[in-house]
Amino acid sequence: MIGLSSNRCVIDGELLELDDLRYTPAGVPRISLKIRHVSTQQEAGVSRQVQCDIPAVALGEAAQQVSRFKAGQSVRVEGFLAQRSLRIAQLVLHIDNINLK
């Protein structure tokens, strides 16, 4: 496997779901959430309506920040993509920066 390093995402969207703030066994704050993204994108020279619900997770300081937000708020999130677990291949956005829009 080639050692690739680029894995950054920036998404604008609406906070659709927010779980309660929890803590890992090591005591690190963790929160799961879902973000709805809606936009118009250009693909092959044609405008395309895009809508997707993105599962996401935030840990540490980002989790504490997210826990103060409410469903329905508009946000810009930055982070990286990873599999949900070793057994579940679904992609999850791991947030390391989030701001209200």
Q: Which residue is listed with tokens 């993105």?
A: 54
Average pLDDT over residues 6-30: 97
**Mean pLDDT of the 69-88 span:** 96
Q: Which residues pair with 4 in a beta bridge?
A: none
Strands 91-100 and 46-59: parallel
Three-state SS string over 37-61 comes to EEEEEEECCEEEEEEEEEEEEEECH
User: Does residue 1 have a pLDDT over 70?
Assistant: no
Confidence of residue 94 (pLDDT cuts 50, 70, 90): very high
Identify the sign of the CA torsion 8, 12, 18, 21: positive
Higher pLDDT, 63 or 1: 63
pLDDT exceeds cutoff 70 at 83: yes
What is the arithmetic mean of pLDDT over 83-97?
A: 95
pTM of the predicted model, to two decimals? 0.90
Residue scoring higher pLDDT (15 or 86) = 15
66 burial (CB, 10 Å; 0-12 / 13-18 / 19+) is buried
pLDDT at 93: 98
Q: What CA–CA distance (Å, rounded) separates 76 from 9?
A: 10
